[in-house]
Chain A
Amino acid sequence: MKTSEVPQDDANMMQGKTREPVYSLDEDGNYTTVQSVGWEPKNEIMKEVWEVVNEKAEKARQEVISGNVSPIAYYLEKNIMDVKLLARYMGIWSFRVKRHLKPKHFNKLSENMLKKYAGVFNITTKQLLDIESLKNVDND
């Protein structure tokens, strides 16, 4: 690829926080780097990846609101985790996390456990317990 061909397709994937150096050939045939803000095919693929994440979170949100699962199920998807990873962060066995996905068990969780879950999800205990506010979340 020539330096003049390095794509600059901005889809705000970098949020202005950085740009990516791409190695390419200048006019004299020497390699150099050009800062790029993005590339269309890659942007499209990243969008698809987030679409999958958001779809899962949305599904979990609906389930939480209907009372089928506990709020942990929603925040788990929102944080792109699975039960195994969440269990690692919590420092407990997977089967216990699985159990806490059920409202029945979730409602019996100690203050300490709730605080720990909230900490992993980077929210407050109050937010974790507040199912009502989940009704206004938009997962786009």
Chain B
Amino acid sequence: MTNKKRNINLNFKHKQSAHCENGVISNLLGYYDINISEPMAFGIGSGLFFSHMPFLKVGGIPVTSFRPVPGIIFKRISKRLGIKFSRKKFSKPTRSMEALNENLENGIPTGMLVGVYHLTYFPDPYRFHFNAHNLVVYGRKDNIYLISDPIMENLEVLTYDELLRVRYAKGLFAPKGHMYWLKNIPETIDLKKAIIAGIKHTCKDMLTIPVPMFGVKGIRFLSKKVRKYPKKLGARRAASFAGQIVRAQEEIGTGGAGFRYMYGAFLQEAAVILDNNKLRQLSFDISEIGDLWRDFAVITGRIVKNRNKIDENYDKAADQLLIIADREEAFFKKLKNSI
């Protein structure tokens, strides 16, 4: 710990967002007067995705995800906007805090990866061992760090020890003190080009990955699996498996319906910037697709509620996924042809 006791409070504007990765990027850029909304960051970073990986399990339950691997949105945005970030990890925990203090002394709001399990201000029901959460430290008062956590409505604080602990959470995606900050900003940003690159990438991800676990194919693949759950797993476990899908879909940070609504918000903004009214039309389509995902969640919620007996709704849930897959396939084909 440094002995310098200078209090620092950078003039950081905290804007709550649905998703932490987009939110931190949007807030960090905002500090340097670059206005990129959360949906815009999400769209440019090609944050919309689908994957179902039965062999990859967390807590014994297969992973379904509505987003790409943590960190990728970040990478794509910086590449597409031409913004450079400095990044650092530290094998020695105390060193990571010294580096943070130095950054604050130099007036640099600093983003970092943390685990949520020990995040004291987080609602307890959501405190699991998830290690790819992002937040920004924007100041310090004695031993207390000032935190802008994009998931939270209000500004938060953590003590030195609390912050150290979450920065060195262990397990999958262990952050290892990882922190990042803006290194340089280009003089001009070509937003149009970035948006088009973002959209193209998402269409490609959703339509053409030649493995059945990803994109639209992944949704059909999951449908097949869900149909077999009750026979294969028994009532209680089948309910856990099905529930996990909806947890990923409606997790804090998706903005509802597995990011589909957020993508609609992006398309509306993009429609104005690209002067392309087709995108506005498509923003309504994706909202409807989001509604179909919500219907799927309702069916699944009922299954989970009746978890102690075999529920006949699994077929219904599987059918719903097939409907969604068809709709998304048509949607992303149309989107691809609209730009």
Residues of A within 8 A of B (CB): 1, 6, 13-15, 17-25, 29-31, 33, 35, 39-42, 44-46, 48-50, 52, 79-82, 85, 88-89, 122
Query: 27 A-B pairs, CB-CB below 8 angstroms?
Result: A1-B287, A14-B123, A15-B124, A17-B121, A17-B152, A18-B123, A20-B252, A22-B18, A23-B262, A24-B256, A25-B264, A29-B284, A31-B39, A31-B283, A33-B18, A40-B301, A41-B246, A41-B250, A41-B298, A41-B302, A45-B243, A45-B247, A45-B300, A49-B240, A52-B240, A80-B128, A85-B129
B255 cross-chain contacts in A, Cβ below 8 A = 21-23, 33
Q: Does B178 contact A (CB under 8 A)?
A: no
B83-128, CB < 8 A from A: 117-118, 121-126, 128
Instruction: Return the contact of B239 from the options A29, A48, A81 (Cβ within 8 A).
Output: A48
B177 to A: closest C-beta gap in Å: 15
A131 to B18, CA, bound (A): 42
B157-209, CB < 8 A from A: 170-171, 174
- Check A23 against B18 for contact (C-beta < 8 Å): yes
Say whether chain A's binding surface is mostly helix, strand, loop, or mixed. mixed
A99 to B: closest C-beta gap in Å: 19
- Check A23 against B256 for contact (C-beta < 8 Å): yes
Say whether chain B's binding surface is mostly helix, strand, loop, or mixed. helix
- Check B304 against A48 for contact (C-beta < 8 Å): yes
Q: Which of B67-75, B225-233, B289-297, B323-331 contacts its partner? A: B289-297
The list of the 8 closest CB pairs from A to B, nearest first, reads A41-B301, A31-B265, A23-B261, A88-B170, A45-B243, A22-B256, A23-B255, A42-B250
A40 to B118, CA, bound (A): 26
Q: Quick one: CB contact mask for B294-328 with A, threshold 8 Å, 1 for yes?
A: 10011011101101000000000000000000000
A46 to B284, CA, bound (A): 30
A22 to B16, CA, bound (A): 11
Given A17-B122, A48-B240, A50-B125, 10 more A-B residue pairs with CB atoms under 8 Å apart are A17-B152, A25-B284, A31-B261, A31-B265, A39-B297, A42-B297, A44-B301, A45-B301, A81-B129, A85-B129
- Check A13 against B170 for contact (C-beta < 8 Å): no
A97 to B111, CA, bound (A): 34
Residues of B within 8 A of A (CB): 16-18, 39, 59, 117-118, 121-126, 128-129, 151-154, 170-171, 174, 239-240, 243, 246-247, 250, 252, 255-257, 261-262, 264-265, 268, 283-284, 287, 290-291, 294, 297-298, 300-302, 304-305, 307
B264 cross-chain contacts in A, Cβ below 8 A = 23, 25, 31
A80 to B130, CA, bound (A): 11
A80 cross-chain contacts in B, Cβ below 8 A = 59, 117, 128-129
Shortest Cβ distance from B297 into A: residue? A41
A44 to B255, CA, bound (A): 18
Answer whether A18 and B256 are a contact pair too, CB < 8 Å, given A41-B301, A85-B129. no
Instruction: Return the contact of A88 from the options B17, B152, B171 (Cβ within 8 A).
Output: B171
Shortest Cβ distance from B251 into A: residue? A42
- Check B246 against A42 for contact (C-beta < 8 Å): yes
Answer whether A1 and B128 are a contact pair too, CB < 8 Å, given A31-B265, A33-B18, A89-B170. no
B257 cross-chain contacts in A, Cβ below 8 A = 1
B297 cross-chain contacts in A, Cβ below 8 A = 39, 41-42
Shortest Cβ distance from B299 into A: residue? A41
A1 cross-chain contacts in B, Cβ below 8 A = 256-257, 261, 287, 290-291, 294
Instruction: Return the contact of B123 from the options A15, A24, A42, A81 (Cβ within 8 A).
Output: A15
A17 cross-chain contacts in B, Cβ below 8 A = 121-123, 152
Answer whether A24 and B304 are a contact pair too, CB < 8 Å, given A1-B287, A48-B243, A49-B247. no
- Check B301 against A42 for contact (C-beta < 8 Å): yes
A24 to B291, CA, bound (A): 10
A49 cross-chain contacts in B, Cβ below 8 A = 240, 243, 247
